[in-house]
Structure 1
């Protein structure tokens, strides 16, 4: 499992201009079985995505395809995570 930690690199007005495209990308990746959860950081300086990928190369390619990244308004740190424990109902997080 991977965590994508997005950090905005542009003013929120520029981020918001790409928001619809970013949300469509999130939904498409969820439909493909790649994204389990996502949301904004508080305060609103970026976001976090819980992602499934076969390996780091796939995860990094997926993160790089985010419209926020391709649009130049965010950068993403890809963090590999191996859950040792998950609460009941969250078994999908174990991959």
Structure 2
């Protein structure tokens, strides 16, 4: 599993200008079966996506995010080998 942590490097107003294309990108990540959960950081300084799949494919997909393309946010990708989960979250185990 991967944790995709994005941090805004431009003001929220700039992020807002690219939010709809970014959200279309997020929806496509779910449609591909790669994204398991996502949301904004609080306070709003970026977001987090829990993802599964091939690292090279995930990295290429992150590079295609409109937030990446337009320099709105930078991503930190962390791979996690989940070994223990709460009941019902076995999908997180690799």
Q: How would you bin the TM-score normalised by the shorter chain? A: over 0.9
Cα separation, 1, equivalents of 2:26 and 2:18:
12
Q: TM-score, normalised by structure 2?
A: 0.94
Cα separation, 1, equivalents of 2:2 and 2:44:
21
Count residues with an aligned counterpart. Answer: 94
Cα separation, 2, equivalents of 1:85 and 1:48:
20
RMSD: 1.0
Counterpart check, 1:77 vs 2:46? no
State how 1:15-34 maps to structure 2 within 5 Å: 15-34=15-34
Structure 2 segments unaligned to the other structure (5+ residues): none
Structure 1 segments unaligned to the other structure (5+ residues): none
Moved over 6 A (4+): none
Q: TM-score, normalised by structure 1?
A: 0.93
